[in-house]
């Protein structure tokens, strides 16, 4: 039980800070009907938990030991993140509040994958943190830790989606528009950071 709680607390601490995944979930909950927002949250949870499992079992080491792969992920990741952020920034006020904005499950899957898997710094940092826990936990209890991490992801993203969806009607469409634009600017800044890391490594 103690190992499970460690995983749960680590999971919340790891995903709660404002990051690209959270911004994507928030913007989707603002734009889309609640059912669709929860479907997108489920997609985000899938890629988040798959990344956590991969980090726990050593994908970060692969990036660290394969420089060309890390560079490729940095470049592609930065370009996709720019594209995602720009899409939020350029939204028009007429699109907000109607709950009928254009939507594509394919685009949602690509975006959810991008904000999780195309950030090599997050993969490496996650690997280091999770590896530290793995070393300190007996092998036979490691799966309890990861169950806690996965549960934290489920509770967090579903909770965030539900909270934003429930209270967005209290906000004026213009306020929602600017929240989305701010999210877009922050995401673009993440793209700048990724691109800067790419440039310093070549």
pLDDT tens for each residue of 27-77:
899 888 999 999 999 999 999 999 998 888 777 667 767 888 878 878 887
Q: Distances in Å between the alpha carbon of 16 and those of 72, 146, 155, 198? A: 28, 17, 11, 26
Q: Can you give the residue range of the structural domain that contains 173?
A: 2-9+21-201
Q: Is 16 inside any structural domain?
A: no
Against a cut of 0.85, is the pTM above it?
Answer: no
What pLDDT tens digit does each residue of the chain (202 aa) get? 888 988 888 888 878 765 788 888 988 998 889 999 999 999 999 999 999 988 887 776 677 678 888 788 788 878 887 887 888 788 765 444 444 456 788 989 998 998 888 877 777 777 777 776 776 677 788 889 899 999 999 999 999 999 999 988 777 777 777 877 887 888 788 788 878 888 888 7
Domain count, the chain: 1
Q: Is 14 inside any structural domain?
A: no
| Secondary structure letter of residue 168 according to DSSP | G
Q: Is 152 inside any structural domain?
A: yes
Cα torsion angle, 167, 16, 178, 43, sign: negative
Residue 72: closest CA among 40, 120, 112: 120
């Amino acid at each position: 039980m103690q190992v499970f709680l460690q995983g749960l607390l680590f999971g919340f601490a790891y995903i709660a800070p404002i990051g690209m995944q959270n911004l994507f979930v928030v913007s989707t909950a603002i734009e889309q009907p609640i059912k669709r927002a929860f479907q997108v949250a489920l997609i985000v949870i899938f890629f988040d938990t798959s990344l956590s499992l991969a980090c726990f079992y050593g994908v970060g080491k692969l990036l660290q030991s394969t420089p060309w792969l890390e560079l490729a992920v940095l470049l592609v990741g930065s370009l996709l993140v720019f594209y995602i952020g720009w899409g939020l920034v350029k939204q028009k006020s007429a699109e907000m509040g109607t709950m009928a904005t254009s939507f594509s499950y394919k685009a949602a899957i690509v975006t959810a994958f991008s904000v999780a898997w195309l950030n090599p710094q997050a993969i490496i940092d996650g690997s280091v943190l999770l590896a530290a826990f793995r070393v300190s936990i007996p092998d036979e209890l490691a799966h309890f830790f990861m169950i806690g991490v996965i549960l934290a992801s489920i509770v967090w993203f579903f909770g965030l989606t539900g909270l934003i969806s429930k209270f967005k009607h209290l906000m004026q469409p213009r306020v929602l528009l600017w929240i989305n634009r701010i999210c877009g600017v922050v995401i673009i800044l993440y793209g700048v950071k990724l691109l800067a890391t790419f440039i310093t490594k070549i």
